[in-house]
Structures are given as C-alpha cells and as structure tokens.
Chains A and B, each alone.
Chain A
Amino acid sequence: MKRILTLATIVWLEMVRRKELYVLLILLAALLAGLLSVDVFGLSGITGYAKDVGLLGVWLLSWILAVNISVRQLPQEAQRGTLFSLLAMPVSRLTLILGKWLGAWSGVGFALICFYLTLLAGVWLKGGGFDANTLVQAILLHGGALAVVCALGIALSTRLNRDAALVTAYLTTGSAFLLMPRIPAMLAGTRGLESISLFGAYYLLPHFELFDLRRRLIHDWGRVGWFLIGEILLYAFLMTVVFLTLAWLGYRKRRFSRGDVL
C-alpha cells in the first residue's frame, strides 16, 4: 500500500505543479461570474439556470480532467524515461497501475470538490442553494463515475499511444454518457447486426447516466434512497475493477525498450 500511495502522490504533485486544476477552476469561476451577471427578462432572481449551466460545467471540466490525467500517466512515464527507473525498483506493474489510478482519481476527486464548492458559492451569491443531502449524494456518485473514467483511461493507455488513447477515451466515455439512456428506445426499431451491436454496447459500456443527479439538484426533488446510492457505487467499483484488470492484462507482459523512451 505504501508503494501505491507513493505513486499516487507523484500524480498529485504533478497535477498541482502543472497548475491544471487552477486553470479549470478559473474557467468555472469565469463561467459562473458570467451567469451571475446576466439579467435577461428580469430573471436575475431565478437560480435554476445558473445551477443547470454550472452543473453542466462541473461535469464537463471534471470529465476533461479525468480523461487527460488518467490517459497520460503510463505513456508519459515511458516517453520521458522515468518508467525504467520506476520498474527497476521493487514496483510490480500492478502496483504501478493501481498507484497511477489512485493518484488520478483522488486528484480529480479533489478537483471535483473544489468545482462543487465554487458552484455552491456562485449559486449562494445568487440567493439560491442546494439540498445538502442531495448534494452529498450527487458528489459521491459523480466521484464514482470519475473512478470508472480514470480506470478506463488507464486501461486504454496500456495498449494505445497517448493521443490514440485520449481520443478513444473521449469517444467511449462521451458516447456512453450520451447514448446509453437512448439505447432501449433505439433497440425497438432495429434488427440483426445493428440490434446486436446496440445490445452489446448497452451491457459492455459503463452506464454513466446512473451517476447523474443534476435534475434532482436543479429542481430540488430531494435525495434518493441511500441503498440505491450504495448499489450504484458498487456498480462503479465493479466497473473500475474490470477496467483495472484489463489494464493489468494489457501491461503485465508488455516489453519496454529504448525506443519507448525516444
């Protein structure tokens, strides 16, 4: 565990010293400031639109951060040559994968809390607020979704180069988020191979829509049962384990040579 935590700390330090989090926070704050200053049709007292756009911003920024950070971890170790120093120490490849995932996820998780706090401050300044229980549930589920995104990003980067892994991760997670809820309706009008592919995608890709409580937060519908939250988090845990296992299978026998450094 000490080795996994050490590797995770490196990911954290890099994220902080590269100032990625600050850039995204400034972007979110700018977005919120823009929303707060808008007073079209005398709607300045209504906070729903600020919540809606702000939550969308939080989801987009955390998604971008999670994909970028997770996908670059393993390829950049090989590219800059530090991989050889790491693997020459008693660090197994599984430890390396787990350390990188934990670092990416916890770093993005910390950023997520900062994003929500910024949003909360923005909405509060506008005179609105969120139901505390629903907000905690939303953050927990959002964190669960990001754990899956980070694991998927790392799994892709074990076999693809950084750019290819980045594009594939964006396409996979983006289409999973947008397409999944529509698949049952689409299945009704399809047959044969098309139907089989949609059916396969429905069961193979992660269901990110399960983690999205934005509607509840915006319209103050109240919290969901905690048992259901537990079930969804268990689903996130299982998906994360599946992707990290795939990452390990793709990485455990991978041969590294001087060419990887150049």
Chain B
Amino acid sequence: MNPAIDIQGVSVSFPSRQGTVHALQDLSLTVEPGIVYGFLGPNGAGKTTTIHILLGFQESIRGSARLFGVPVTESIARDRIGYLSENPEAYDFLTGREWLTMAGRLFDLTSGEVKSRIETVLSETGMLAAADRRIASYSRGMRQRICLAQALINDPDLLILDEPTGGLDPIGRRDIRRLIANRKKAGKTVFFSSHELSEVELVCDRIAILAKGHLLAEGVIADLVPRGESLERYFINTVAP
C-alpha cells in the first residue's frame, strides 16, 4: 500500500530582501495510512510550507512529494484529501449548506452523495442548526467548523489540518479531538500541524519536529520523549537546546 504522504528530499527557497530564505532543506517524511501524525515546530519552521507543497500550491520545488503514490502536482492527488487551513475562509455570500454543496460538486460527488454527506458532516461539526444562514453572519469558530465540514465532505482518506484548534473555545477543541479520534477509528489518516502540544500528546500516534526547515526528530511519542518528561519539555529541548 502506498504511504498517505511521501516527501523525499524536498527543498524550498524564497528570494527576499535579506537574501534567499531556505524554508525547507532536504525534508524527507513518510506517513503511513491509518495513523494520526503530529507535525510540530516553532513559528517559521516550515510547517505550513510543507502543507502547501502537499496541496500543490508550490509547484517549483526540489525533490518529490506524493499523496497515496500520486505526485502532488497532479490535481487528482487531491481527490482523497481534505484540508483545513490555519485561516479558514469561505464565501460570505453563500450559506453554509451552499458552500458544502459547492465543495461536494468540486469533488465530483453525485447529487445524492452531496446531500447525504452534507447532513453527515454538518452533524459531525455541530453546524446543522446554522447551515442555512449566510456565512457572513458566522462567528470565527463557526467559520472554522463550516470549513472543517467542507474538508470532510468527500470523506477523505487523508485529512490535513493546519493549526485546527487556533480559533476554538475548549468545547470546540474537544470536538476536534473527538473528530480526529473518529477518523482514526474509521481507518483514515490525519496529518495535524499544531502548537498545542497537549492536544498533540492526546491524539497523535507519531510526531515530527521541524525547525528552520530541518527535520529534527521523528517517531512515536513514547519512543522520543524520555520517561517522566513532558512533550513540551522535549520539544523545547529539541528546538532550542
């Protein structure tokens, strides 16, 4: 079986006024299907850049990146994934239900599938009651939830979450944890970037720690973190020894 994510020797540089910025340097990472994978790093580590590469937003890269064996540069690679960005946004002039219908159609689902999936994801994200209101009237947390519902519309085999708990209250965070656990139970893969180390400790099977574009550590939390030490302490010692 192909890995859910397979990144090999990826490097990305950006020109800037201060010279060339190396956002990622020779990054290699493999995520097997069916696990919850935590992708950690301080601000500017290259986490979002890595996610953008996986989504094909950056086509000019060195190295190779594949999703379920398909190069990320092909739009079909995104058939089996769902994505929630760190600043989730949707069309203000649509209702939540219309936004999900549009997403379902873009995933080429049939009308019947779109209808049934919409009910499922609205109930999973707790947005059933607000589904027929315009998105313009949603709070930040509700926008996050409707975008999460959109990321789930195709029942993705790989769910990529970029800082998913950022705008959420404690109940919202708990709901996200439950949702991730449910995805794992269903045999799906979750790739999860976060600063919230306590959340990561609770839900992730494996983690990777990235800093300044380099992969510093990768493995099962229990193997990486010494007995009696918290993930937070381990993270700080690894990133800023």
Interface residues of B in 64-84 (CB under 8 A from A): 75-79, 81-83
Say whether, besides A85-B147, A88-B78, A90-B75, A17 and B93 are in contact (CB < 8 Å). yes
B85 near A84 with CB under 8 A, answer: yes
Interface residues of A in 68-124 (CB under 8 A from B): 80-82, 84-92, 95
CA A17 to CA B76, docked complex, whole Å:
32
Please count how many residues in chain B sit with their CB below 8 Å of the partner chain's CB atoms: 38
Nearest residue, chain A, Cβ from B98: A13
Nearest residue, chain A, Cβ from B55: A88
| Interface majority SS (helix, strand, loop, mixed), chain A | helix
Judge whether B150 is part of the interface by a CB distance below 8 angstroms: yes
Contacts of B147 in A (CB 8 A): 85
CA A3 to CA B93, docked complex, whole Å:
19
Say whether, besides A87-B55, A89-B78, A90-B79, A2 and B93 are in contact (CB < 8 Å). no
B192 vs chain A, min Cβ distance (A): 15
Nearest residue, chain B, Cβ from A261: B87
Indicate the member of A6, A9, A13 with the most B CB atoms within 10 Å.
A6
Contacts of B108 in A (CB 8 A): 2-3, 90
In-complex Cβ contact of A255 among B57, B88, B98 (8 A): B57
Contact with A along B92-113 (1 / 0, CB 8 A): 1110001000110111100000
Nearest residue, chain B, Cβ from A99: B106
Judge whether B196 is part of the interface by a CB distance below 8 angstroms: no
Please count how many residues in chain A sit with their CB below 8 Å of the partner chain's CB atoms: 30
In-complex Cβ contact of A14 among B14, B48, B59, B93 (8 A): B93
In-complex Cβ contact of B89 among A85, A91, A253, A257 (8 A): A85
B105 near A18 with CB under 8 A, answer: no
CA A256 to CA B57, docked complex, whole Å:
6
CA A14 to CA B82, docked complex, whole Å:
25
A10 near B78 with CB under 8 A, answer: no
Judge whether B60 is part of the interface by a CB distance below 8 angstroms: yes
What are the 7 closest A-B residue pairs judged by CB atoms, nearest first?
A81-B89, A88-B83, A92-B75, A6-B105, A17-B93, A89-B106, A90-B78
B binding-site residues for A, Cβ under 8 Å: 14, 48-49, 52, 55-60, 75-79, 81-83, 85-94, 98, 102-103, 105-108, 147, 150, 160
Report 29 cross-chain contacts, Cβ distance below 8 Å, ordered by A residue.
Answer: A2-B105, A3-B108, A6-B102, A7-B106, A10-B91, A10-B94, A13-B98, A14-B93, A82-B90, A84-B55, A85-B88, A85-B103, A86-B106, A87-B55, A87-B57, A88-B78, A88-B82, A88-B85, A89-B103, A90-B78, A90-B107, A91-B78, A92-B75, A255-B59, A257-B14, A257-B52, A257-B57, A257-B58, A258-B87
* Extra pairs beyond A85-B90, A88-B82, A261-B89 (15, CB < 8 Å): A2-B105, A9-B102, A14-B91, A14-B93, A18-B93, A84-B85, A86-B106, A87-B55, A88-B81, A89-B78, A89-B103, A90-B106, A91-B75, A257-B14, A257-B49
